Each structure stands twice: as C-alpha cells, then as structure tokens.
Structure 1
Amino acid sequence: MSSSWTPDESSETLLAEKGWLQGTVVSAIAYGINVTLYFMCFHLLLRQMTRTNCKKQIPLLVYITVTFILSTLFMTALADFTQLAFIQDRNYPGGPNAFENDMFSIPVDNIGNVCGLITMLLSDGLVVWRCMVIYRGCRVPMWAIMLFPCLMYAASVVMGIMWLLQVTTFSPYFSSTNINYTVPYLSLSLALNIIITIVIVLRLLTYRRRISKVLGSSYGTQYTSIAAMIIESAALYSAFSVAFLTLFLLNNPISETFIEALTQVQIIATLLIVFRVAQGKGWSQDTMSRVMVSRPSVQAIRMGGLGYDLRDGSKSFTDSNNVGTHETCKISDRNLVEAAV
C-alpha cells in the first residue's frame, strides 16, 4: 500500500503522535469505568446511610463526587486539546506533536493539568488514610508508622505545586534550560504509593496468616484475599505509574499513552477502595474483632494442646488431654482477638 499520504515527519514524531492519540482513547475507556464505579459507590453509600453513620458516609460521598467532577473536567480538557491539535490547528508547523509541546500552557490544557494534580493529591491522601486505618491497633506507635509516609505526602504536595507552576509556562517534555519538576513530582507520588502498597500488603498478609492459624483459611478471606490486597493498596496505580516513569525516563514517545491515562487509572484505584468500604469489605478498626467472633458453627480450634470452642454466647476452652473432666474456663472476645493479633 502506498504511503505517499504520510506526513513528512520523523518516525519519532509520528510515534509520539500515535501515543498521544492512543492515550486519549485509553483515558476515555478508563473514564467510562470511573463513571460506572462512581454511580455504584454513590448508590451504595446513599442506600446505606442512616442517622448513626451519616458522619462517615457523607465525607465519602463528597470525596467521590469531587474526584468524579475532576475526572470529567480532565477528560473534557484532554478531548478538547486533542481536537485542537489534530483537527482545528492541524496545519500548525511541526504537526500535533509540536502543537502539544508549544501550547502546553494554554487555558484548556491548564484546566486538565490542575484537575490532574488535585486528583492525584486526593488519591494519594486516600491511600495514606487507608494505611492508617489498616495499621490502627498495631503494637508499634502510629506516629512511627505514619511519619515517613506523611512526610513524603507533604513533599509530594509541594513538588506538585512546583510542577503546576512549571507547566503553565512550558512543556515538561522540553526543559533543557529550566528545572524539570515532572520526574521528581511523579517519582515522589510513585514512591509514596509503592511504599504504602508494600506496608499494606505486609499487614494484610500478617492478618491472613494469623486468622488462618486461629480460625482456618476459610475465614476473613474477603479482607485478606489477593484481590483485597491489590485494591486496598492501590497497586493498580503503582504498576501503571512505574510503566509511565520507565518510558518517560527512556524518552520513549509511548509514555504519552500512559501519562494521559494516569489520572483516570488513579481514580479507578481510588473508587475501588471506596467501593470495598461501602460494601463493608474494606478493612476497618474492628475488622479483626468481627472476623474472630463471627464463626457460624461450634468447632474446636486447637492451639498448643487446647481446644477452643467458639459459640454465639460465651467463649470457652477445654483441655483436650483431659476429656473426662472437661474443665472449662471462660475467655473474652478481646482475649481471643489478642491471641490472633
């Protein structure tokens, strides 16, 4: 087939334009997922709202609504900017790729940049909050666990503001005469998410091991399954961000595809966390207690020669070596939980 209609541009330029256009398509697909997740979360939270839990539900409703509005504005700005480059101003010298680099700071693109930044900060904040919830009740002081993530989050906020000031004047892809905050900002956000992903997964793995040891592998799986760990730790965004930064540092034009879809993917990870919380499957402060005392049948749990009988009423344990006397002692739910934790 003849390629006489191919623009007289380098293969790198054409590849960058392909990456940009495909990134817009991927972002639109991810936005469609966000719309579905938003209405699912909103319906579930609203249906479960009562006078007693409204203080917990309303902040989540406000949070997901704000992120949904930001994602809509971001998608609108991206679509409009793409339309300008590929249709309305397609005769711009150098083509759409040059248009993007030279017009990165026009108002319509700045709207997308601002929405993307705020969304990323809100999403990172949610992940930090989930880490705090999951580690609540740990023997290690909370400040010792959360100090480093909170400092990283604060640094990410500062670097994000510097990045936003940068992209209002020139493209982050060409900054040989200026300080480029793109890599430091996104690297901080990525490092924060990776660290929190690791610590959350480690905590949930520890819970799963202890629950399985005391109750068996069939209990608490909705809180400690592989899917739960991936969602709770926002691992989806971390993996996507690693792919983008790797390509960006290698100066690969395909990084355009990832950076344009990055905001929508992060919102997907955020809404999945909220959806688990709305379903009652998200880890909370009293999850361990609920798992440990919700056993439906009367079965013995053997630990160190002792058979523990869990009933709906009082909890007791029996010496398995002294079947004749069956000497019984009462233990509380709290002691049972502490045996696992």
Structure 2
Amino acid sequence: MSSALTVFEHSYYIGNYMSGILYGVDIVMYFLTLQGLFRKGNRNSAKSKRFFTIYSTVLLLLLTIDISANAVWGEQMWITFRDSAGGVPAFLATQTSDWYETMGSTSVVIMVFLGDALLLYRLFILYGTSFFVIALPALAYLAAFALAIIELVIAGKPGGNFFHGHAINFGVPYYTITIAFNIFVTFAIVYRLLKLGKAVSRALGPESANVYTNTSAMLIESAAPYSIFGIMFLIPYALGHGTAISFGQVWAKIACLSPQLIVLRVVTGKAWVREIVTQAQSNVQFVVRPTGVSTGIEMQRHVEYSHGASTLNEAEEGAEKWNSSKSVISA
C-alpha cells in the first residue's frame, strides 16, 4: 500500500509540474492565434474569426479550470490535510469526489470532446463526401460521450473515486474508445495527407508545397502527439498503476494543445483547407499568391497545361472561372 501510494504521489507531482509547463505553452499558442486572427491582412471571414476566438478561449478557460483544480487538490493533500487523521491515504479515500476535483475532471472531458470534434471536422475536410470513413469515428465519438457522462456522474458521488473503484468500469471503455478514435483519425489523416501531398508537390513544386507536406505539418494536422500520449496513458490506467495519473495529466493538456495548434495553422493560412484538397484531387495546377497572413490559392491566369484539363480550351475556361469567382482560402 505504501509503495503504491508513493508511486501515486510522485506521479501526481510530476504530472502537475509538466502540466504547468504545457499550460504556459498553450497560453503562448492562444495569443499567437489571436494575433494571427486580427492582424491586418488576415483573410479569414468575420464568422471564422469569431468562431476561432470563442473556440480557443473556451479551450484555455477549460484548461485553466483543470490546472487550478489539480493544484488545489495537491495543496489540500500535502499541506492542509497533512497532519489529519489517516494522512494522505484517508484524504484519497474521502476527498477525490470533492466538487472542485469533479469540476476539473469535467473540464478535461469537455476539452477532449471539443478537440475530437475538430478532428472529425478536419477528417471531413480531407475526405469530403467519403462518409464511410467518417461514420465509424463519429459513432465512436458519440459512444465515448455517453460513457464519459456516466463516469463523471458516478465519480462525483460521495465516496466516488475517479482513479479507482466503480468509476474505473466506465473509465477504461471510455478512454479506450476515445484513444482508439484518436488513433484511427490520426492514421486516416496521415494517409490522406501523404496521398494529397504528392499532387500538391507536383502542382506547387516541392519547396512551395513544403508548408503543407512537411513532417511537422502532418504531425500537427493529424494530432499525432495526442494519440501517442493517449496510448501512454491508457496502458497504466487500464492496469490500475499509479503512474497513470502523471500520463493522464499530460494527455489532458495535449488534448487542449493539439486542437489549438491546428487552429493556429488554419488562421495563419498553413493548414489544409477544402480548396487545397479540391485542387489536389483534381490535379489542377495552381500557385500560392502571397497575401500577408492568410494563404490565397488561385489558378494561373496565363494558361498552363494541367493533369485535370484535357485540352487548352478546358484549361482556359477553368482559369477564367476560377479568377472570376475571386475565391480565397478561409477557415
């Protein structure tokens, strides 16, 4: 018991420390996002700016609640109730269902589902009308949501324990489905980006296409770190090992950071959007036009042969039609 308790305490302390570092990173990402959104020359629509501002702000507020709840709980465990009867074991047995700890757990669940919703949308952007690819993760998303509600209700009752006891019966399937969802979406997005990346490289040239096809772009767009840390958390959690709390805290912060990084790429015009995917699928030759912060894509007015046009007239008509619409990328 003392050995397991020691592992738990060390893990909780390390998790809190790492969480503080990641919280600082997220604050930087948040203000970079706002700076990108409202910088002069940004071509995102007013609706997009409003959505990304609210989305990013909600993520930051939820992360702040989680960080604060964990900090208070640690202070109560190691300082306020240090000399109380039963010490830390008694505290863990009676205080894990405190309202602020339940609120912290709830904030993490909401963060996860906001992040997963963005990943579902990105999957839709990349696969378009391939609803079969989107159907399975969408069902997993809904199933995980139902399990999360059940787990939070049970863990929040008097005597409930988010880390052990009855809540674990719902926690394991919840986290398993959620992380399996992340893994599936990550691989699906990476596969799609690898296929589309070849078409974009042919159209833009390797150097210009690098912003969409480099390794960091694929890691961010697919939320790969989110899936990796999810696996690292799920294994000890399912085994009931004390180190799960450390990995869980880090995973929760990555659940906020990953979507925030995707949003940052979108608002700065570096993310894959519907127009780029459409162009890549049709193999039309296009160029990047510098537009300050946001990246605009337009057909070359001077006609160029492309894989998508079988004749010169078709290429000219496509170019004229594209230019007349004056379409630019927006989120």
1:33 equivalent to 2:16? Answer: no
Residue 217 of structure 1: how far off its partner (Å): 3.0
- Counterpart of 2:156 (choices 164, 168, 190) is 168
Among all aligned residue pairs of Structure 1 and Structure 2, give the percentage whose two residues are the same amino acid: 28
Residue 97 of structure 1: how far off its partner (Å): 5.0
Distance 2:305 2:191 in 1: 31
1:23 equivalent to 2:15? Answer: yes
1:180 aligned counterpart, secondary structure: helix
Q: Contact between 2:37 and 2:44, CA under 8 Å: does it hold in 1?
A: no
Q: Contact between 1:24 and 1:260, CA under 8 Å: does it hold in 2?
A: yes
Indicate the residue corresponding to 2:179 in structure 1. 190
Indicate the residue corresponding to 1:151 in structure 2. 139
Indicate the residue corresponding to 2:312 in structure 1. 329
Distance 2:220 2:312 in 1: 41
2:266 aligned counterpart, secondary structure: helix
Relative to structure 1, the CA distance from residue 272 to residue 14 in structure 2 (aligned partners, 3 Å threshold; closer, same or farther) is: same
Residue 312 of structure 1: how far off its partner (Å): 4.4
Letter in 2 for 1:175: G
Distance 1:25 1:240 in 2: 16
- List aligned pairs for 1:64-143, cutoff 5 A: 64-96=56-88, 98-136=90-128, 141-143=129-131
Distance 1:221 1:233 in 2: 16
Higher RCO (CA-CA < 8 Å; seq separation 6+): 2
Residue 21 of structure 1: how far off its partner (Å): 0.9
Distance 1:91 1:206 in 2: 61
CA deviations on 1:42-86 (whole Å, 9 max, x unpaired) are: 121122587971012211111111111111111111111110001
> So what's the TM-score if we normalise by structure 1?
0.80
Distance 1:18 1:88 in 2: 18
Indicate the residue corresponding to 1:306 in structure 2. none
Residue 213 of structure 1: how far off its partner (Å): 4.6
Residue 295 of structure 1: how far off its partner (Å): 6.6
- Counterpart of 1:265 (choices 243, 247, 254) is 254
Indicate the residue corresponding to 2:292 in structure 1. none
| Larger deviation, residues 40-49 vs 102-111 | 40-49
Indicate the residue corresponding to 1:256 in structure 2. 245
Q: Contact between 2:151 and 2:171, CA under 8 Å: does it hold in 1?
A: yes
Residue 179 of structure 1: how far off its partner (Å): 6.4
Q: Contact between 1:26 and 1:261, CA under 8 Å: does it hold in 2?
A: yes
* Count of equivalent residues: 300
Q: Contact between 2:66 and 2:107, CA under 8 Å: does it hold in 1?
A: yes
Relative to structure 1, the CA distance from residue 253 to residue 50 in structure 2 (aligned partners, 3 Å threshold; closer, same or farther) is: closer
2:34 aligned counterpart, secondary structure: helix
Distance 2:288 2:115 in 1: 35
Distance 1:280 1:218 in 2: 16
Distance 1:174 1:200 in 2: 35
Residue 94 of structure 1: how far off its partner (Å): 4.8
Relative to structure 1, the CA distance from residue 233 to residue 295 in structure 2 (aligned partners, 3 Å threshold; closer, same or farther) is: closer
Distance 2:18 2:176 in 1: 22
Q: Contact between 1:17 and 1:97, CA under 8 Å: does it hold in 2?
A: no
Distance 1:234 1:112 in 2: 23
Q: Contact between 1:201 and 1:233, CA under 8 Å: does it hold in 2?
A: yes
Indicate the residue corresponding to 1:241 in structure 2. 230
1:280 aligned counterpart, secondary structure: coil
- Judging by fraction of residues, say which structure has more helix: 2
Which consecutive residues of structure 2, in runs of 5 or more, have no partner in the other structure?
290-298, 320-331
- Counterpart of 2:55 (choices 38, 43, 63) is 63
Relative to structure 1, the CA distance from residue 51 to residue 194 in structure 2 (aligned partners, 3 Å threshold; closer, same or farther) is: closer
Q: Say which one has the larger Rg.
A: 1
Distance 2:212 2:42 in 1: 24
Indicate the residue corresponding to 1:307 in structure 2. none
> So what's the TM-score if we normalise by structure 2?
0.83
CA deviations on 1:215-267 (whole Å, 9 max, x unpaired) are: 54334221122111110111111101100111222332211111122221111
Q: Contact between 2:164 and 2:240, CA under 8 Å: does it hold in 1?
A: no
CA deviations on 1:73-126 (whole Å, 9 max, x unpaired) are: 111111111100010011345543552343111111111011111111111111
Residue 143 of structure 1: how far off its partner (Å): 2.3
Distance 1:94 1:200 in 2: 50
Distance 1:213 1:295 in 2: 13
Distance 2:317 2:146 in 1: 43
Distance 1:35 1:252 in 2: 31
